């Protein structure tokens, strides 16, 4: 079960949605030191105590993150920051 689960609707082409997802991945890598890699339409990311996926669909993007015990205290801050970034890059 994900500790953070954000779904953001979009009206983008598949290429534009993938580029937007890459912007979110770049932000996560810069802010949280994550390693990210694409697996088809799924962006997988991880670092010590954190792992998850960003699935780019035809009409939405879904970010699911599992946090380790030490990171759970930061879940509200992380979710807020990532929700704003997802809305910015995928929103209308």
Render pLDDT for 24-49 as a digit per residue (tens, 0 to 9): 888 878 877 888 999 998 999 999 88
Q: Is the pLDDT of residue 1 over 80?
A: no
Enumerate the β-bridge partners of residue 9.
60
Domain ranges of the chain: 4-90
Model confidence at 92, pLDDT cuts 50, 70, 90, reads low
Give how far Cα 3 sits from Cα of 6, 9, 12, Å.
10, 20, 27
Rounded average pLDDT over 36-65: 92
Residue 34: what pLDDT?
Answer: 86
Between 91 and 83, whose confidence is greater? 83
Give backbone dihedrals phi and psi of 36, rounded to 5 degrees, phi first. Answer: -130, 145
Q: Which fold has domain 4-90?
A: TATA-Binding Protein (3.30.310)
Residue 91 pLDDT class (50, 70, 90 cuts): confident
- Between helix 75-90 and helix 14-32 the angle, nearest 10°, is 150
């Amino acid at each position: 079960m994900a500790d953070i689960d954000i779904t953001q609707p979009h009206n983008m082409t598949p290429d534009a949605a993938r580029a937007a997802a890459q912007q979110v991945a770049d932000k996560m890598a810069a802010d949280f030191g994550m390693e990210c890699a694409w697996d088809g339409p799924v962006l997988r990311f991880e670092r010590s105590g954190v792992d998850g996926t960003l699935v780019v669909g035809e009409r939405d993007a879904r970010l699911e993150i599992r946090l380790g015990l030490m990171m759970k205290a930061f879940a509200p801050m992380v979710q807020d920051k990532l929700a704003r970034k997802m809305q910015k890059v995928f929103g209308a």
